[in-house]
């Protein structure tokens, strides 16, 4: 098995578990407290990254700006995700928000000049259709 595939499968399983625990947390604590405590869960990962990099990050202004913009997008995305999860069901909210790759693909096409094959376009349409079917 390729390393990228193994790592992707680990991510898939962990994110699946994350969706269930996030719903349980919002039911018990509300979205604000659930998200706040969830952020604390990032601390072990921060420790690993600090160890791996020696705490040094190369200075590349566009790299820093892009990384900070990605972090803010993730942060605010989760901010609204926890509120949606509190108001809706995990079986609908999680698949719906899992369509974020559609946004990435469209923005990559518009701003990065990346292209979609007919097969990839068909996959995006199928993913959107799947979420529509799950939400009805």
Q: Is residue 106 part of a domain?
A: no
Q: Give per-residue pLDDT as tens, 7-35.
A: 999 998 998 899 999 999 999 999 999 99
Written in H, E and C, the secondary structure of 47-102 is HHHHHHHCCCCCCCHHHHHHHHHHHHHHHHHHHHHHHHHHHCCHHHHHHHHCCHHH
Contact 108, 114 (CB under 8 A): yes
The pTM (predicted TM-score) of the whole model is: 0.80
For 37, the domain range is: 3-98
Q: Give per-residue pLDDT as tens, 86-134.
A: 999 888 888 888 888 888 888 898 999 998 889 988 988 998 898 888 7
CA dist., res. 17 & res. 19, Å (int): 5
Q: Is residue 108 part of a domain?
A: no
Q: Is residue 19 part of a domain?
A: yes
Give the three-class secondary structure for 5: helix
CA of 65: how far to CAs of 28, 35, 42, 107, in Å? Answer: 36, 24, 21, 17
Q: Is residue 78 part of a domain?
A: yes
Q: Is residue 121 part of a domain?
A: no
Q: Is residue 118 part of a domain?
A: no
Structure tokens belonging to residue 123: 């996959």
**What is residue 52's predicted lDDT score, i.e. its pLDDT?**
96
Q: Is residue 90 part of a domain?
A: yes
Number of folded domains that form the chain: 1
Q: Is residue 120 part of a domain?
A: no
Query: Confidence class of residue 51 from pLDDT cuts 50, 70 and 90?
Result: very high
């Amino acid at each position: 098995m390729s390393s990228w595939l193994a790592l992707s499968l680990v991510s898939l399983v962990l994110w699946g578990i994350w969706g269930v625990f996030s719903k349980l947390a919002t039911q018990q604590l509300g979205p604000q407290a659930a998200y706040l405590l969830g952020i604390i869960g990032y601390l072990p990962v921060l420790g690993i990254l600090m160890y791996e990099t020696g705490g040094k990050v190369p200075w590349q202004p566009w790299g820093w700006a892009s990384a900070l913009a990605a972090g803010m997008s993730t942060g605010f995305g989760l901010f609204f995700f926890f509120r949606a999860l509190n108001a809706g069901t995990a079986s609908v909210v999680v698949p719906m928000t899992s369509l974020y790759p559609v946004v990435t693909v469209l923005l990559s096409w518009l701003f990065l000049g990346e292209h979609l094959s007919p097969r990839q376009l068909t996959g995006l349409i199928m993913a959107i259709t799947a979420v529509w079917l799950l939400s009805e």
